[in-house]
Amino acid sequence: MAFGRLERAQGDPPMSEINVTPLVDVMLVLVVIFIITAPLLASSIRLDLPRAVGTQGGDAPRFLSVVVDKAGQVFLDDRPVQPAQFAARLAAAAKQNPDTEIQLRADQGVPYGKVVEVMGLVHQAGLSRIGFVAEPAR
**1-19: average pLDDT:** 73
CA distance 69 to 109: 8
- Mean pLDDT of the region 68-87: 86
Task: Report which of 69, 81, 63, 58 is spatially closest to residue 127, judged by C-alpha positions.
Answer: 63
CATH number of the structural domain 63-132: 3.30.420.270
Mean pLDDT of 80-99: 89
Q: In the predicted model, is pLDDT for residue 61 greater than 80?
A: no
Domain residue extents for the chain: 63-132
More confident of the two residues 134 and 78: 78
**Could you report the per-residue pLDDT of 21-38, keeping only the tens digit for each?**
999 999 999 999 988 887
Nearest Cα neighbor of 133 from 65, 75, 61 is 65
Residue 66 and residue 103: Cα distance in Å, rounded? 6
**For range 87-99, the mean pLDDT:** 89
